[in-house]
Structure 1
Amino acid sequence: MATGGLRIIHALLPQLPASEKKIAEYILAQPEAVMDYTAGELGSLAGASGAAVIRLCKSLGVKGFQDLKVRIAGDLSTKVEQGYRDITPHDTIQSIVKKTTINSVQSISDTSELLQHEEIERAVSALSKARTIHFFGVGASHIIAMDAQQKFLRVNKGATAFTDVHIVATLIANAGADDVVVGISFSGETSEVINILSLAKKRGLTTISLTKQGLSSVSALTDISLHTSYTREAPFRSAATSSRLAQLYVIDTLFLAMASTKYDETVGYIDRTREAIQFLKDKQK
């Protein structure tokens, strides 16, 4: 059963317009009752309108009011949310190990609930057909881009992950029609990523974004939008710890989904790359 409806609302509540926020707060206060309402009834009870309910669903990134209700029903039946833990002064090693584990598992679990399978399928289709995939991110997101490049190169898929914006712009200027540009930005507002995706869009290239849940300048630019969970980061998590793991999780999902469509061919490529690396190791002995 789909879940994550209440978690998405909690995360995006501060960003919502006033009319949508009224509805979101009503849902959080009485999630069980919402199951019995139509969009019009919910809007009226929350002091808004049915149209505002539909807009809220769009802001939350769900398919519609029925999808939101299914996710909320899933939340109510499971009730497994642990929440995030931030470190405190003089934490013991045991405490830090436990908190890090909880945060890592929670981030991946939250993201798995947000991923829309249709968007994953569209992304996998685009990546499979691409001649070259240009991954681009700045700062911590560049680490994700490099990880993606390494994975896709191993299965004989052309991939780049440069940090220099001018080099990336040059690549896009000369890109073929079947190239794909993947912009990675947790905030969804990184100016360099916005500019690169704008250039890619101008060139008519297929674009994919990987951002936190919710509307953003980056996701608005792309043909395919993928999201990780969004939490109001505590001081140490703002250093891209849990968010980085969620991004790596999405990249792994894309890579494995693409590999499964060409399983035998992919295994052959991986075997050859493994043999090449072993050859280098043997030469160093």
Structure 2
Amino acid sequence: MTNSVKESFASRGGHAPSPVPAPAPPVRTAGPPGPAALAAKVRTMAPSMTRSMQRVAETVAHDPAGCARLTVTGLAERTGTSEATVVRTSRLLGYPGYRDLRLALAGLAAQQESGAAPSVTADIAVDDPIGEVISKLAQDEQQTLADTAAGLDTAQVEAAVGALAAARRVDVYGAAASALVGQDLAQKLLRIGLVAHAHADPHLAVTNAVQLRAGDVALAITHSGRTVDVIEPLRVAFDHGATTIAITGRPDGEVAQYADHVLTTSTARESELRPAAMSSRTSQLLVVDCLFIGVAQRTYESAAPALSASYEALAHRHSPRVR
């Protein structure tokens, strides 16, 4: 959100609108997703679509070659939907119209024929031998990382890096598995000399968010985009003028209402033996590492000595003490 939006919130008593469902924010990409990002976009956004739109999205993802040859009327007939639904699905996936989606489908089909596009792996069964479990998990992790990398908006990442590098203080909010990712980011930033704190306790998160001001950064991690314990401190930080960042698998979720910069993650398919928390953590860690490296690059003159000092301190701690 822009500074003018923040100012309008402040003029109404310093509070953002009550947390009610809001229209999906605009797609935060410089242009339509390329072929590599299309499948990732479908996997990420399908769960939040209407059932008819899901049918369109899943059909184009599973048979890009066949769908690329269909007109908008043909795809509507194949999926049992309407032409309007096909067009709305195209736009939700980031394309101005169905023609642009068809071009991406043709590109995705070409990638699959050449073997460049990864295939969707099968679910893990309760009786799978451990060797097969390892193989399936490795493939799913690779798919998740590739999808996240393809779907990340580099302009948003660069803006987030710039805010973190210049921050007086960084607060990170997360719950459950996302809290572990938040702790990872905070300790990385601490090691290069930034003031960073991870908050898993929602009460402490809010009381700390109240202290944030312009020049500070608040970063929320929530795969669902609707975790109240994460959204509330981000809202408070937003109200107080801090730059806000969200790492989420649902860019149309409520958390985006209070985020200046949204970094979208992907996730492998959830199954009985592999809950969403496992696959979402993989993509979140990739984004965290991208942010950390970006900040370290921008602050290299101070980051390198700080990192060296932390290594030296840890090495000294683990060395035998001389009596």
TM-score range, shorter chain: 0.7 to 0.9
> Matches of 2:166 and 2:107 in 1, distance apart?
35
2:222 alignment partner AA: S
Counterpart among 111, 120, 131 of residue 157 in structure 2: 120
The residue type equivalent to 1:115 in the other structure is L
Of 200, 211, 215 in structure 2, the residue corresponding to residue 178 of structure 1 is 215
Hey, what does 1:15 align to over in structure 2?
Answer: 48
Which residue is equivalent to 2:110?
A: 77
Aligned pairs for 1:1-285 within 5 A: 3-17=36-50, 20-21=53-54, 24=57, 27-28=60-61, 31-32=64-65, 42=72, 46=76, 47-49=82-84, 53=87, 55-56=88-89, 59-60=92-93, 62=94, 64-65=96-97, 71-79=104-112, 80-238=117-275, 240-282=277-319
2:30 equivalent in structure 1: none
Describe the superposition over 1:171-210 as per-residue Cα deviations: whole angstroms up to 9, x where unpaired: 1111231111111111111111121122122212211111
Q: CA deviation at 1:273?
A: 1.2
The Cα offsets for residues 107-156 of structure 1, whole Å up to 9 and x where unpaired, read as 11111111111111111111111111111101111000000011111110
Q: Output the TM-score relative to the length of structure 1.
A: 0.84
Unaligned residue ranges in structure 1 (runs of 5+): none
> Normalising by structure 2, what TM-score?
0.75
Higher alpha-carbon deviation: 259-268 or 111-120:
259-268
Name structure 2 gaps, 5 residues minimum: 1-33, 77-81
RMSD (CA atoms): 2.9
Q: Which amino acid aligns with 2:83?
A: A
* Distance change (3 Å), C-alpha of 1:85 and 1:147: farther
Higher-RCO chain (CA-CA 8 Å, sequence separation at least 6): 2
Letter in 1 for 2:203: H
Change (3 A) 1:192 1:59: farther
Count how many residue pairs are aligned between Structure 1 and Structure 2: 279
**One-letter identity of the residue aligned with 2:223:** F
* Whole-angstrom distance in 2 between the partners of 1:208 and 1:260: 19
Aligned partner of residue 207 in structure 1, secondary structure: strand
